[in-house]
Amino acid sequence: MHQTKKGTVISVLLVVLLLFQSFCADAIIISHSANGTVIADILNVRKRDTTTSDVVVTVSEGTAVTIKKTVTNSLGEKWYKIKVKVNNTSYTGYVMASFVRKKTSSMSKTPATTTQSATSSKPAKTGKYRYGNLKTNAILYRSRSKQSAIVAYLKPKTLVYAGQKKKVGRLTWYRVSTKGLSKNYSGYIQSKQIKFQTTTVKSTRYKVAFFKKKTQIYKTANSTDTIKGTASKRSDAIILGTLKVGGKKWAKVKTKLGTGYAAYSNLTPVTSTVKSTIKYEATTKKSTACRKVSCTLATNRGTIPSGTTINVLGQLTVNNTLWYKASYLKGSSTITGYVLAKNVNLSTEAAFQTALQVFPDSYRPALIQLHAAHPTWMFHPVNTGLDWNEVIANECCNGKNTIQSNCPKGGAVDAYSVPFSYLSTAAGDYDWATDTYTLRDGSNWYEANEQVVSYYIDPRNFLNEKGIFQFEALNYEATQTKDVVATMLNNTFMSGNYNVTDIATGKTAAGSYADAFMDAAATSNVSPYYLVTRVKNEVGTNGSDSTSGTLKGYEGYYNFYNIGANDSATGQAIANGLSWAKSGTTYNRPWTTPYKSIVGGASYIASLYIGIGQNTMYTQKFNVVVPTSLYVHQYMTSVTASNSYATNNYNTYSTNKILDHAYTFYIPFYNNMPAATCSLPASTGNPNCYVKSLTLKNSNNNKTINLNATFNYLTSNYTAVVANSVNKIKISAKPVSTYASVSGTGTYSLATGNNTIKVTCTAGNGSKATYTITITRQP
């Protein structure tokens, strides 16, 4: 009897030892089935239960095995005796148990909610869930009972996602999900074994940011906690602190909804303070708050009464809003903070001098000259914070910047055709072996090269009376009138009224184009002058099939802004645009009248571009202002588009004698800009200076003489060996490009020994490539 008890105790200790040995794995299922799966990358099946035993066969991850029995060797290691089939041959041997996952019928019947990932998919929510880590080794049970089936053993610090707290007897349990070695697990763990991660943080920061997209604000850093509200896209926030919960970074934020927690990845921090560089007197237009930083959510350092004299010390634009750094006297104390520029009366001269201090030195001479000629114009500096070289690298790829040229197809340079030197010869844009440029759009649009792109991106090239209008603010202003719009529409197909049948209603739709553009401006908060110019740029002064309503297959549909009119090498741009106008219900679609197209298209432009910060033609062409879509959310591909728009607008304003209106210009600058303003390339010819074939022949019998290697246009040195009887050879070469010429070909007499002959190919632009052939005439 005594011996039986002792044997029982030994058996229990052995079970405990095996139990805690299994904790070394991330999560190992306990099973009583005879089947299993290999979970190691490569697993040796050995002759005996020891790592020094001979290898019977090697199996890979996922291999199905039959477990014959479980053994524990003299070292206390747990092994399985298995049977496995490899290449139709059966093998029997031993493997360490930790590298095989057993399969059981009970596990296969586990509800789907028990195999969800703790870090991705989550169990069905029945209340507030939280992330935690295990304090110690733990057993994951099938139900809230120590007597229930065991799902897995979990090691310390394992991340769990816990919810559904319940007390059973004296024990408190949590239903949790977690991720193991090769699958996800769900079950119950005692509460004392979980250390929950903190979901709140003290306020240790004060950084202004804005939301990249609609974002839910939670009570704590927990997406199952109470939702305080949803912050809108581009709305302001102040980041007060950050923390990580379950591997995800959260921000403690102050918003219009109050203080709460939001996903940090949805926020874009911005600069909200500036150094004091100037001092100009101004007065407040109305009672205005003096904030700690440039944000309406920031701490109010005091309210400045209307008519108060203040000193403006600097300016900056935050989230498309202009702020002044200012100081004022409150009693005997000087208060310094940030006020909204719209609430301040600053003389035109003072406003100009304030802005001038922010611009780089290389911008100032041209701006001073413009200010002298047009003192009512306002110039706002936009510090993109972007590195110049990064901007150019990102804009010089994937058809983002195209330019028209007839030269690749044998045409000439003219007003609508640039020389070869403007075209990119980068990989994917040009094939040197065939002298072929990659067509990007239409019949003659090709990728512009880096120097051309740099020229058009450099704002300093356009700080003149015409070019400046690509930086014109595109918002609707009360000073913009219908009379000016009507004048801008003169001598175009929109100079009078439209009168069409609306195919959606069968009724007549009539009205003036000028009224349509004014309605579009008022509803979308977009300048009507810009809208008119945009249509003229897109469809021309005489209109096109986009505006006629008569294109076959799209009768009765209109697309004045050519939205969705994506071009391609096969054309169909107008049809693509009308298809877009015909489909969908957003932006007043389908556009079955000119009015619907003009008004609905304006809303599209406002929501997708102007409303998110691309408030000038320059930034619609080169998106350097919207952090979530830099370099990709761009309205047009033509590298000259924004400058063409500027010229058209200047001509329109000049003709209508409205050049001296109070226009506002938002002009960007970059870090590490070149000291000198970027210039366009010199006009030169085709750059290809290679030959596509090089042939040697025996002049005596016209037989071809083999070179030491197959000819390749990029290889410049070749050799050939000829018999002594070959005393004269003929060399022929053909250039890749029809614009290139070849010299050095012809008939040569050979001396005994080495003879060196050079063949030179000269490109249309004057560049050269020389091929050297060394011919050895044997003695």
| Confidence grade of residue 694 (pLDDT, cut at 50, 70, 90) | very high
Q: What is the pLDDT of residues 285-337, one digit of tens each?
A: 999 999 999 999 999 999 999 999 999 999 888 887 889 999 999 989 999 99
Distance of alpha carbon 504 from the chain centroid = 39
Determine contact, residues 237/297, Cβ cutoff 8 Å: yes
Q: Measured between alpha carbons, how far is 539 from 560 in angstroms, rounded to an integer?
A: 7
Tens of pLDDT, residues 398-413: 889 999 999 999 999 9
Q: How far apart are CA 325 and CA 346, in angstroms?
A: 13
Round to the nearest angstrom and report the end-to-end CA distance of the chain.
110
Q: What does the pLDDT look like over 200-251, one tens digit per residue?
A: 999 999 999 999 889 999 999 998 889 999 999 889 999 999 999 988 999 9
pLDDT value at residue 611: 83
User: β-strands 717-722, 768-777: how paired?
Assistant: parallel
Cβ proximity of 582 and 554 under 8 Å: yes
d(CA 468, CA 370): 9
| Whether pLDDT at 600 is above 50 | yes
Among the listed residues 43, 47, 64, the one whose alpha carbon sits nearest the alpha carbon of residue 55: 47
Tokens of 746: 């012809």
Any idea what the Cα angle at residue 581 is, between residues 578 and 584, rounded to 5°? 135
Q: How confident is the model at residue 612, as a pLDDT? A: 85
Q: CA 234 to CA 610: how far, in whole Å?
A: 12
Among the ranges given (107-111, 553-557, 606-610), the one the predictor scored with the smallest mean pLDDT: 107-111
- Evaluate if residue 106 carries a pLDDT over 50: no
Alpha carbon distance 771, 694 (integer Å): 9
> What are the φ/ψ torsions at residue 767 (nearest 5 degrees)?
-70, 155
Q: How large is the C-alpha radius of gyration of the chain?
A: 38
Helix (H, G, I), strand (E, B) or coil at 578: helix
Give 3-state DSSP helix, strand, coil % of the chain, rounded to 5. Answer: 25, 35, 40
- Backbone φ/ψ region at 440: left (φ over 0), alpha (ψ -120 to 50), beta: alpha
CA separation for the pair 461, 704 (Å, rounded): 57
Distance of CA 79 to the CA centre of its chain: 51
Contact indicator for 378, 419 with CB cutoff of 8 Å = no
For 646-682, write each residue's pLDDT tens digit: 998 898 889 878 888 888 899 999 999 999 999 999 9
* Separation of alpha carbons 385 and 212, rounded Å: 17
The Cα 149–Cα 32 span in angstroms is 11
In terms of phi and psi (left: phi > 0; alpha: psi -120 to 50; beta: otherwise), the region of 372 is alpha
Which contacts of 225-230 are long-range, i.e. CB under 8 A and separated by 24 or more positions? 225/128, 225/199, 228/257, 228/258, 228/260, 229/255, 229/257, 229/258, 230/257
The residue type of 491 is: N
Rounded average pLDDT over 94-120: 52
Contacts of 724 (CB under 8 A, 6+ apart): 752, 777, 778, 779
pLDDT of residue 104: 55
Residue 115 has pLDDT above 80, yes or no: no
Look-up of token digits 């990249």: 212
Please report the DSSP string for 711-744 in residue order. Answer: --TT--EEEEEE-TT--EEEEEEEESSTT-EEES
Mean pLDDT of 450-464: 98
**Contacts of 22 by beta carbon, 8 Å cutoff, 6+ apart:** 28, 30, 78, 97, 98, 153
3-state DSSP assignment of residue 434: coil
Nearest to 185 by CA among 121, 248, 98: 121
**Joined tokens for residue 306:** 């209307």
> Which pLDDT score is estimated for 40?
66
Task: State the residue for tokens 């040009």.
Answer: 430
Q: Angle 286-287-293 (CA atoms, 0-180°, nearest 5)?
A: 110
Closest to 205 (Cα-Cα) out of 231, 246, 243: 243
Only one residue has tokens 């408190």, namely 172
Q: Which long-range contacts (CB under 8 A, 24 or more apart) does 119-123 make?
A: 119/159, 119/161, 119/179, 119/246, 119/247, 121/184, 122/161, 122/177, 123/161, 123/163, 123/175, 123/177, 123/186
Count Cβ atoms within 10 A of the Cβ of residue 313 and give its class: 0-12 exposed, 13-18 middle, 19 or more buried.
buried
Residue 57 reports pLDDT greater than 80: yes
List, in sequence order, the alpha helices (H) in 181-269.
Answer: none
